[in-house]
């Protein structure tokens, strides 16, 4: 192990200072870090995040730093020829990350999308690339990751993935269904007001997400997004059909042009003429969401792609984070 590593310093029950923690994360993404050191640093990171998760004053800060590098760690260590030692360390990080309180309240941002896209990219490569055991592990980690998120955030991130890679559409649809299945248990016994609020939130995700769809390059990517969006609309319809009609009417009224109206009609699944001629269903607290957004993340994202992020982390310390089957 390198002599300057924070792991060589005497550690108190609170294993590392903030500077030490950032240095650990920097060394985790360094391909020159040996396997034993990598696993030891995963152990330290696991302990730090477990402790911070129980301290409200620290909640989310260290975890978010791990979120930033997880797409890189997945890319580097999930597939052979990555050693079993490094792979087990990666699984340990995924475990603590999925249980983190900050993740369970995460908002939409590019780091979140990058992580989910890396998960799905690995799964799309299948058993030939990962091996049977690793494929199962990554699959379960992905499901835990998605179902631990607020449903609205998960749906938003999955639709955002389709804007970058249309080839993942079948996996995204499966994930949308998995998130729905996980959250549907809360529907039984909940009030109509809660069902309305939930359904309306999903429609706002879809309709705000569409704002950049017309600018996508290539019809295949656009069509992939439409397929994902239609699935979310159907999920919202199962919660409260009237919400879907009302939100579609509002979007239709605010449509930017013919192409936008056609897109709204596609995701709605039927002609808008019949809807606009029908009496409006009044929904309490109606709001028309015309901008593509989600609540702002706690930390501003400065990096989108894996390689630039590796370079950034290696050059400076950033101030800036189940078992189930995808059917």
Please write the tens of the pLDDT for every residue from 161-186: 999 999 999 999 999 999 999 988 77
- Name all contacts of 278-282 with Cβ < 8 Å and 24+ positions apart: 278/245, 280/246, 280/249, 281/242, 281/245, 281/246, 282/246
Query: Cβ–Cβ contacts within 10 Å for residue 126, how many?
Result: 11
Alpha helices in 149-218 (DSSP H): 151-162, 169-184, 192-209
**DSSP assignment, residue 155?**
H
Contacts of 191 (CB under 8 A, 6+ apart): none
**H/E segment holding residue 323:** none
Best CA proximity match to 179, nearest among 199, 203, 206, 150: 150
Q: What percent of the chain stands above pLDDT 90?
A: 54
- Two tokens at 16? 């590392």
The DSSP line for 191-204 is: -HHHHHHHHHHHHH
- Two tokens at 224? 């992939």
CB-hemisphere CA count at 13 Å for 1?
17
Indicate if the pLDDT at residue 299 is higher than 50: no
CB-neighbour burial class of residue 178 (10 A; exposed 0-12, middle 13-18, buried 19+): buried
- Name all contacts of 267-276 with Cβ < 8 Å and 24+ positions apart: 267/206, 267/210, 267/226, 267/229, 267/230, 267/233, 268/233, 268/244, 269/230, 269/233, 272/248, 275/245, 275/248, 275/249, 276/249, 276/252
Higher pLDDT pick, 11 / 270: 270
- Two tokens at 62? 């260290």
Say what the pLDDT of residue 60 is: 53
Is residue 172 a contact partner of residue 209, using CB atoms and an 8 Å limit? no
**DSSP assignment, residue 212?**
G
**Is the peptide bond between 299 and the residue preceding it cis, with omega within 30 degrees of 0?**
no
Given the structure tokens 């809807």, which residue do they identify? 275
Higher pLDDT pick, 122 / 111: 122
- Two tokens at 95? 């475990």
Best CA proximity match to 151, nearest among 182, 193, 111, 130: 182
Q: What is the Cα Rg of the chain in Å?
A: 21
pLDDT digits 0-9 by tens, 199-252: 999 999 999 999 889 888 788 999 999 999 999 999 999 999 999 999 999 999
pLDDT digits 0-9 by tens, 183-198: 887 777 788 888 899 9
**H/E segment holding residue 320:** none
Say what the pLDDT of residue 141 is: 94
Higher pLDDT pick, 51 / 231: 231
Say what the pLDDT of residue 49 is: 83
Give the integer Cα–Cα distance in Å for 87 and 287: 46
Instruction: With cut-offs at 50, 70 and 90, classify the pLDDT of residue 280.
Output: very low
Phi, psi at 208, each rounded to 5°: -75, -35
Is residue 130 a contact partner of residue 138, using CB atoms and an 8 Å limit? yes
Q: What's the rounded mean pLDDT across residues 292-311?
A: 41
Contacts of 14 (CB under 8 A, 6+ apart): 48, 51
Q: What's the rounded mean pLDDT across residues 18-32?
A: 89
């Amino acid at each position: 192990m390198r002599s300057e590593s924070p792991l060589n310093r005497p550690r108190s029950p609170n294993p590392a200072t903030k500077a030490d923690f950032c240095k650990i994360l920097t060394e985790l993404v360094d391909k020159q870090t040996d396997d034993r050191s990598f696993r030891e640093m995963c152990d330290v990171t696991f302990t730090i995040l477990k402790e911070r998760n129980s301290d409200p004053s620290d909640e989310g800060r260290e975890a978010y730093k791990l979120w930033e590098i997880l797409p890189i760690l997945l890319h580097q260590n999930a597939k052979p020829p990555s050693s079993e030692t490094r792979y087990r360390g990666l699984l340990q990080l995924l475990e603590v990350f999925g249980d983190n309180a900050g993740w369970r309240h995460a908002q939409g941002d590019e780091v979140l999308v990058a992580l989910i896209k890396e998960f799905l990219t690995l799964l799309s490569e299948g058993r030939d690339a990962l091996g049977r055991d690793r494929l199962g592990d990554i699959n379960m980690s992905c499901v835990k990751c998605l179902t631990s998120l607020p449903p609205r955030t998960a749906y938003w991130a999955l639709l955002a993935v389709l804007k970058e890679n249309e080839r993942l559409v079948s996996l995204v649809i499966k994930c949308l269904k998995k998130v729905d299945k996980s959250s549907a248990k809360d529907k039984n016994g909940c009030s109509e007001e809660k069902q309305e609020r939930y359904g309306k939130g999903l429609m706002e995700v879809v309709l705000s997400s569409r704002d950049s769809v017309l600018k996508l390059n290539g019809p295949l990517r656009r069509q992939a997004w439409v397929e994902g969006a239609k699935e979310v609309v159907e999920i919202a319809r199962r919660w409260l059909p009237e919400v879907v009609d009302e939100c579609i009417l509002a979007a239709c009224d605010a449509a930017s042009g013919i192409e936008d109206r056609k897109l709204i009609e596609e995701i709605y699944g039927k002609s808008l003429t019949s809807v606009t001629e029908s009496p409006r269903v009044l929904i309490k607290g109606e709001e028309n969401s015309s901008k593509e957004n989600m609540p702002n993340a706690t930390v501003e994202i400065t990096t989108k792609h894996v390689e630039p992020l590796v370079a950034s982390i290696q050059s400076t310390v950033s101030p800036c984070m189940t078992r189930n089957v995808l059917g």
